[in-house]
A and B are shown apart, each in its own frame.
Chain A
Amino acid sequence: MSILEVEDLSISFKQYTRGLKQKHHHVITSLNVTLEAGEILAVVGASGSGKSLLAHAILGILPSNASMSGTIKYAGDELTAARQMALRGKEIALVPQSVNYLDPLMRVGAQVRTSVKQGDAALAQRKVFERYHLQSDVENMYPFQLSGGMARRTLLSTAMVSEANVIIADEPTPGLDPVVILEALHDFRELADNGCAVMLITHDIESALKIADKIAVFYAGTTVEVAPVDDFFGNGEALRHPYSKALWRALPQNDFVPIRGSQPHPSALPAGCLFEPRCEKVTLECRQARPEMRNLRNGMVRCIHAT
């Protein structure tokens, strides 16, 4: 049984345009994703494709103007608001994306200590700081005194000491030097091998390939493909969805070629396939209906042309 199941999740934001006129932005549309214990699922995709929102939906920390449909199940039971509140930070931990999530008025050592649940909090905090090469005087500093990389390591430390069953890491590595990245990735793998489920949201596909079991590719608020890591090689010929291929080919170590245009805006999604306006394989059929997610070659894809 999957430890975390997200089924047909949709999230929309309500926005006032003028006076009492409202507009709805559909930021996530019919998204499915599952997380298994002992497994790392890497989530990659366009910036603004709703990766962080998915994390926030699982934690139950969406802003108040968001409305959500679909179900999220944790260990077989639906994750209600009350359960989310009880579990977050304990069984489900988040490594937030922005360093703004640190409390600006609290020393960072103390912030990390608050998430230790048993044993000597100070000892656990010092150990994890040492592990991430944060010097002993860092624990007495305030967030504004830290460099970008140091703040990031503090956020990582908080999740590492929490002993949660599910860790959702939202872009934990940018701005870190390769040594620390390697260490952090190694830690995620170790956590997974000890039975923890990890969702690693990242742009760094190369790092993700080193440790993840599966990769889910997001575009415009939905999963376009879920593929085993072994399919990411060469020119992306083993990948299923045209967006995944384009993403793979845009990496600096591959062709570094961008495709034209930008992701559709949540308030003006195309009626058919969400990638249709930028796709070179587009046909009339693509414009008429949203393709369903289907199984293909040991993975999943949301494209009618994929083979």
Chain B
Amino acid sequence: MQLEAKDVGFRYGNGPWLFRGVNVTVEPGEIVGLTGPSGCGKTSFCKVLAGYEKPVEGSITVNHSLLPKNVYHPVQLVFQHPEKAINPRWKMIKTLREGGPLDQELLESLGIEREWLTRWPNELSGGELQRFCVARALGKGTRFLIADEMTTMLDAITQAQIWHVVLEMAKKRGMGVLIVSHEAKLIQRLCHRVIEFHPANA
């Protein structure tokens, strides 16, 4: 199984091209870093990869076939701002169940306390919320994880905790991970290889 973006181009409506002709492949179990200046379309590219947006040009394939519809999406995305990726009027357990049945072991390894499940999002800190977003994205069917500035808002200990869980899972399941981050040190530590994202009409 391989995640491949081939000659992908994207723009919102008739706006300017955010990027064109982007080619990226992620192999199973591979950890790939993606860097580039702020505002160059990295997040939009992540959304295209994970199927939130359709590519205007080119194609996204998993295992050489187009992404399936109406099933668990094999490419899951974790956003930079957890407070914007969680329904503020749902208790945390409902948010967590979006990713399938609860995996007690995973929750524990991410340091999610049982008591947090019955709370509202505004009662938890950003770091606590992000753990939920990671747990939600790591459902059984996830083959590729796109981490868009996933741990930028977290303290170093929590960051290390979450990445150790993700790396272990990547190894165990052969899950590919694409990491978008501005933190050179983190990328250096985690990734097998790094791709420099070039802005529009590259």
Binding site for B on A (CB under 8 A): 13, 15, 44-49, 52, 97-100, 147-150, 153, 171, 174-181, 203, 205-206, 246-248, 250-253, 256-259, 261-262, 265
For chains A and B in complex, what number of residue pairs have CB atoms within 8 angstroms? 110
List B residues 142-200 near A (Cβ within 8 Å): 149, 152-161, 163-164, 182-186, 188-190
A205, B111: Cα distance in complex, Å: 23
When the two chains form their complex, are residues B160 and A47 in contact, meaning their CB atoms are under 8 A apart?
Answer: no
Chain B residue with minimal CB distance to A266?
B123
Which 10 A-B pairs rank lowest in CB-CB distance, beginning with the nearest?
A47-B127, A149-B38, A48-B125, A258-B160, A174-B152, A262-B111, A250-B156, A258-B161, A252-B189, A253-B185
List B residues 52-86 near A (Cβ within 8 Å): 80-81, 83-84
Decide if the interface of chain B is mainly helix, strand, loop or mixed: helix
How far is the CB of A19 from the nearest CB of chain B, in Å?
Answer: 16
When the two chains form their complex, are residues B81 and A47 in contact, meaning their CB atoms are under 8 A apart?
Answer: no
When the two chains form their complex, are residues A48 and B127 in contact, meaning their CB atoms are under 8 A apart?
Answer: yes
When the two chains form their complex, are residues B182 and A177 in contact, meaning their CB atoms are under 8 A apart?
Answer: yes
When the two chains form their complex, are residues B152 and A257 in contact, meaning their CB atoms are under 8 A apart?
Answer: no
Query: Is B115 close to A, CB under 8 A?
Result: yes
A sample of 23 cross-chain residue pairs with beta-carbon separation below 8 angstroms, ordered by A number, consists of A46-B155, A46-B157, A47-B125, A47-B127, A47-B155, A47-B158, A48-B125, A48-B127, A98-B126, A147-B39, A148-B43, A149-B38, A175-B152, A180-B38, A205-B156, A252-B186, A253-B185, A257-B160, A258-B157, A258-B161, A258-B164, A262-B111, A262-B158
How far is the CB of A273 from the nearest CB of chain B, in Å?
Answer: 17
Residues of A within 8 A of B158 (CB): 46-47, 258, 262
How far is the CB of A42 from the nearest CB of chain B, in Å?
Answer: 13
Residues of B within 8 A of A150 (CB): 38-39
Contact of A179 among B37, B81, B189 (CB under 8 A): B37
When the two chains form their complex, are residues B157 and A100 in contact, meaning their CB atoms are under 8 A apart?
Answer: no
